[in-house]
């Protein structure tokens, strides 16, 4: 049981960073970012390139991943999404665009980094014992960094001026504009922050399991499951969704045949959405 | 603008549609041209399987084209590789095969990479009179009445008896746990391997599976590690997943061996599994340094130029295009458009294996498993990872 709880907690912390990023973009922009998993993948590959190819310290790699993927997100918002949202009358166009950016990033990664799984050595080595459970020191560190980042993001969106503007934008774009907020700038920053979170998550997990150019879709799928459970566009919902998915996965792998775990998760998700289609936490920003 | 759950579904549909759009890529050649197709998964998590096929074919084509092309009936043909990505989706495999064998008029192509995609291609290949070299193990593809597929590597059920016997007799393996990828390839390989293990008197402790889309193996391996096996068999494990499983299991205190009946890549193992990368017994190609020829070294150099870096899987996949070309040289130019001549030439085909430094015959095999010669006689090289490198454990061959 201890091992299952440890596994669940580690998975939940990893997933929370991914879910936070996608929900931030969704709430501010009303864009479901299909490229979120690809941004995660890009973050991991940038860390790989920085550490394994350039020989720079891991912290530099992680910072580069956050900045580079954040800039990619901001560029997507400025050059693609803003224009489509302004000119298009069809809502699904932003989704088609998001799918396009996902394919763009995936193919760019294949060209730049190749088809192989890429990984770097753990930041720290060793394994802790917690009762009967094993906790690799590197996973513990990634868990700790994830928690610190999650708290930092929550403090930022709750107390900073920019964070409050992001929350206002998520609640009512017109009212926010009328209050004199530069909504274009806040949208760009929000997209960039969400993308940077995906990049950081990828940069952290490359030390644990590695990444490859094709991993994006699996990550995006998990991100969608989390925000559907928690409620699309709600920060607390995203965290709740991450915790729920992490522990369901850990218990599923322990007590069900491996192939049944995700089947059961999808069946349970369908049943859950029939009962509560808006997810646990309801509307954007509560 | 409000984004609803319905929109999410529309978006998912759009994703599928966008995935389906893909134009074939080709390496162009001038003059008299011999077009060879390559169809396989080249994007997504399994991308490396198809891309290694593509890069291997391109490297071989470059080697021949640098000499002016392949000589058939006294004439030189420059080789043009036409590649199609099926994204591991049988629907796209079918349309890709239609494109290669219909519109492009190609009679020989390499791939696909999985049971599901390889079986979906069979009717197209038979209708359009094409030969193909899949990397899938379903026996029905190679057993009569099927005649158009030639297995490009050693099947898991051919290597498992040799591998497990070595591990039982020389390494004291008694208890085995199976961890299979949850798709037709993984389950087929696991079921065949379980029969072999039982036949050798090994105790089967577990038969777990995992989804191909899994992103963290730590919770996946917890159960089988808890049963303390001597050997964890990873059925149809992708090169991306193999070192993750090894690392997760080792971090949980596992001290036994791992095995895989699929080729792996040492660089990925080094990078991802790191200090936990030792103790993997797997099948290699003709690329281990102990046996490779100067021709193989040349191939590796060309492969590096094409792909940017070497991939150990290419040691096996180097054979496909080479065998097609050597067989076409036997049939003469008529064989380029007539696969009946190719099929006739397969039975008596025997050439010196250009990839091995020792004198060894390269033939088509498969009589024992399929009742007809529908497999390339790739050497069966079993390797073990030690100190961050593959070391050769045994060299053999499939029964002809």
Domain map (residue ranges) of chain B: 9-153+291-378, 156-262
| Chain CA centroid to CA B285, Å | 10
Domain boundaries, chain A: 2-215
User: pLDDT tens across B354-388, in order?
Assistant: 999 888 899 999 999 999 999 999 888 898 999 88
Nearest chain A residue to B8 by CA distance is: A32
E strand residue ranges, chain B: 25-26, 33-40, 70-72, 75-85, 108-110, 131-133, 175-181, 203-210, 231-235, 257-260, 280-284, 350-352, 361-365, 375-376, 380-386, 389-396
Enclosing H/E stretch for A97:
helix A92-113
Question: What DSSP string runs through A164-181?
Answer: HHHHHHHH-HHHHHHTT-
Predicted pLDDT of residue B173? 95
Closest CA to B367 of B195, B108, B142: B142
Choose between B289 and B352: higher pLDDT. B352
- Put simply, whether B240 touches A (Cβ < 8 Å) is yes
Q: What is the DSSP letter of A118?
A: B
Record: contact B47-A3, CB cut-off 8 A:
no
Taking only the tens place, the pLDDT of each residue in A35-70 is 999 999 999 999 999 998 899 999 999 999 999 999
- Mean pLDDT within B30-45: 85
A196 close to A70: Cβ distance less than 8 angstroms: yes
Q: What is the pLDDT of residue B29?
A: 45
Q: Are B302 and B61 in contact (CB under 8 A)?
A: no
Q: Does B222 touch chain A (CB under 8 A)?
A: yes
- In this prediction, residues A9-31 reach a mean pLDDT of 84
pLDDT at B231 over 50: yes
The answer to whether the CB of B153 falls within 8 A of the CB of B171 is no
Average pLDDT over residues B82-95: 92
Q: What is the mean pLDDT of residues B35-49?
A: 85
Lowest mean pLDDT segment, chosen from A70-84, B25-39, B143-157: B25-39
Strand partners, B228: none
- Please give the mean pLDDT across all residues of chain B: 88
User: CB-based contact (8 Å) between A121 and chain B?
Assistant: yes
Closest CB to A115 among B18, B48, B219:
B48
CB atoms within 10 A of CB A83: 12
Beta-carbon contacts of residue A82 (< 8 Å; ≥ 6 apart): A184, A187, A188
Q: A286 pLDDT exceeds 80?
A: no
What residues of chain A, 44 to 83, have a C-beta less than 8 Å from chain B? 52
Nearest CA in chain B to A248: B219
Q: Distance, in angstroms, between B304 CA and closest chain A CA?
A: 12
Q: Which residue has the higher pLDDT, B1 or B220?
A: B220
Cα separation of B91 and A143, whole Å? 41
Confidence label for B17 from pLDDT (cuts 50, 70 and 90): very low
Cα A124–Cα A126–Cα A128 angle in degrees, nearest 5:
115
Residue B340 CB partners (closer than 8 Å, separation 6+)? none
With H, G, I as helix, E, B as strand and everything else as coil, classify residue A16: helix
Residue B18 banded pLDDT, cuts 50, 70, 90: very low
Domain covering B156-262 in this structure, CATH number: 3.40.50.2300
Find the mean pLDDT for residues B273-285. Answer: 87
Mean pLDDT for B81-95 is 93
What the block records as the tokens of A232 is: 């699309």
Which of residues 83 through 142 in chain B touch A, CB cutoff 8 A?
Answer: none
Calpha distance B237→B221 (Å, rounded): 14
By the 10 Å C-beta count (0-12 exposed, 13-18 middle, 19+ buried), A170 is classed as: buried
Q: What percent of chain A has pLDDT over 70?
A: 98
Contact A91 B208 (CB under 8 A): no
Cα-based distances in Å from A202 to A103, B95, B261, B333, B384: 18, 35, 30, 52, 31
DSSP state of B81: E
CATH class of B9-153+291-378: alpha beta
Contact (CB<8Å) B48/A139: no
Highest mean pLDDT among A102-116, A267-281, B97-111: B97-111
Q: Judge whether B43 is closer than 8 Å to chain A, CB to CB.
A: yes
End-to-end CA distance of chain B: 66
Q: What is the DSSP letter of B72?
A: E
As a whole number, mean pLDDT of residues B282-298 equals 82
Whole-structure pTM value: 0.79
Long-range CB pairs of B184-187, under 8 A, 24+ apart, other chains included: B184/B114, B184/B115, B184/B116, B184/B138, B185/B114, B185/B115, B185/B116, B185/B136, B185/B137, B185/B236, B186/B235, B186/B236, B186/B237, B187/B235
Contact A116 B268 (CB under 8 A): yes
The per-residue pLDDT for B10 is: 52
End-to-end CA distance of chain A: 34
pLDDT tens digit string along B321-334? 999 999 999 999 99
How many Å is the Cα radius of gyration of chain B?
Answer: 21
pLDDT of A178-209, one tens digit each?
Answer: 888 888 899 899 899 999 999 999 999 898 88
Q: What percent of chain B has pLDDT over 90?
A: 62
H-state helical runs in B332-379: 334-337, 339-348, 367-370
Longest dimension (CA), chain B: 71
Q: How distant is the alpha carbon of residue B134 from its chain centre? A: 8
The reply to whether residue B3 touches residue A120, judged by beta carbons under 8 angstroms, is no
**pLDDT tens per residue across span B238-270:** 888 999 999 999 988 899 999 998 878 888 888
- At residue B7 the predicted structure's pLDDT band, cuts being 50, 70 and 90, is low
Using the Cβ of A29 and the Cβ atoms of chain B, whether some distance falls under 8 Å is answered with no
Distance CA B233, CA B180 (A): 8
Q: What ipTM, to 2 d.p.?
A: 0.78
Band of residue B16 on the pLDDT scale cut at 50, 70, 90: very low
Across A90-99, B59-68, B290-299, which has the greatest mean pLDDT? Answer: B59-68
Q: Mean pLDDT of all residues in chain A?
A: 87
Average pLDDT over residues B40-64: 89
Give the residue from B397, B296, B290 showing the smallest Cα distance to B354: B296
């Amino acid at each position: 049981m201890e091992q299952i709880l440890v596994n669940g907690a580690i998975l939940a912390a990893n997933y929370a960073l991914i879910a936070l990023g996608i929900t931030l973009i969704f709430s501010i922009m009303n864009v479901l970012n299909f490229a979120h998993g690809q941004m995660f993948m890009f973050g991991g590959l940038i860390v790989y390139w920085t550490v394994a190819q350039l020989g720079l310290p891991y912290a530099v790699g992680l910072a580069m991943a956050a900045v580079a993927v954040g800039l990619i997100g901001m560029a997507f918002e400025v050059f693609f999404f803003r224009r489509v949202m302004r000119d298009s009358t069809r809502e699904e166009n932003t989704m088609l665009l998001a799918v396009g950016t996902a394919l763009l990033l995936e193919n760019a990664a294949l060209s730049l980094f190749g088809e192989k799984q890429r990984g770097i050595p753990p930041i720290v080595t060793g394994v802790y014992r917690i009762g009967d459970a094993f906790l690799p020191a590197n996973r513990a560190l990634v868990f700790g960094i994830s928690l610190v980042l999650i708290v930092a993001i929550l403090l930022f969106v709750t107390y900073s001026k920019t964070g409050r503007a992001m929350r206002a934008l998520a609640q009512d774009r017109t009212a926010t504009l009328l209050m004199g907020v530069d909504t274009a700038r806040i949208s760009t920053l929000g997209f960039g922050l969400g993308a940077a979170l995906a990049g950081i998550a990828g940069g952290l997990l490359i030390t644990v399991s590695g990444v490859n150019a094709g991993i994006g879709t699996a990550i995006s799928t998990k991100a969608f499951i989390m925000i559907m459970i928690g409620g699309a566009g709600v920060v607390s919902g995203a965290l709740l969704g991450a915790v729920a998915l992490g522990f369901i996965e850990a218990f599923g792998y322990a007590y069900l045949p491996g192939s049944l775990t995700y089947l059961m998760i999808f069946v349970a998700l369908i049943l859950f959405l029939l009962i509560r289609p808006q997810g646990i936490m309801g509307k954007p920003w509560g | 603008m409000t984004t609803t759950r319905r929109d999410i579904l529309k978006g998912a549909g759009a994703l599928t549609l966008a995935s389906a759009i893909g134009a074939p890529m080709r390496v162009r050649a001038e003059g008299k041209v011999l077009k060879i197709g390559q169809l396989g998964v080249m994007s997504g998590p399994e991308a490396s399987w198809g891309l290694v096929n593509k890069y291997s074919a391109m490297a071989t084509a470059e080697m021949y084209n640098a000499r002016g092309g392949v000589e058939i009936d006294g004439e030189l043909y420059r080789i043009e590789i036409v590649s199609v990505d099926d994204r591991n989706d049988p629907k796209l495999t079918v349309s890709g095969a239609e494109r290669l064998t219909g519109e492009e008029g190609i009679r020989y192509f390499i791939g696909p990479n999985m049971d599901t995609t390889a079986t979906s291609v069979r009717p197209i290949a038979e209708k359009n009179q094409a030969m193909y070299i899949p990397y899938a193990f379903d026996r029905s593809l190679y057993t009569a009445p099927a005649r158009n597929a030639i297995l490009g590597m050693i099947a898991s059920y051919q290597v498992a008896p040799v591998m497990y016997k070595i591990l039982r007799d020389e390494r004291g393996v008694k208890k085995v746990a199976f961890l299979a990828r949850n798709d037709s390839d993984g389950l087929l390989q696991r079921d065949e391997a379980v029969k072999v293990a039982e036949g050798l008197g090994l105790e089967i402790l577990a038969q777990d599976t995992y989804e191909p889309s899994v992103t963290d193996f730590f919770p996946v391996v917890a159960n089988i590690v808890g049963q303390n096996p001597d050997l964890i068999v990873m059925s149809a494990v992708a090169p991306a997943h193999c070192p993750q499983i090894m690392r997760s299991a080792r971090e949980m205190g596992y001290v036994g061996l791992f095995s895989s009946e699929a080729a792996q890549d040492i660089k990925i193992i080094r990078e991802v599994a790191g200090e936990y990368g030792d103790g993997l017994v797997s099948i290699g190609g003709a690329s281990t340094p102990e046996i490779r020829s100067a021709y193989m070294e040349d191939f590796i150099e060309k492969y590096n130029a094409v792909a940017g870096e070497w991939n150990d899987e290419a040691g096996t996949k180097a054979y496909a295009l080479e065998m097609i070309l050597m067989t076409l040289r036997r049939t003469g130019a008529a064989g380029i458009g007539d696969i009946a001549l190719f099929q006739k030439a397969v039975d008596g085909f025997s050439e010196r294996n250009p990839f091995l430094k020792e004198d060894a015959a390269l033939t088509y095999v498969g009589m024992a498993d399929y009742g007809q010669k529908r497999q390339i006689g790739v050497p069966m090289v079993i390797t073990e990872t030690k100190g961050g490198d593959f070391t050769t454990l045994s060299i053999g061959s499939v029964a002809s």
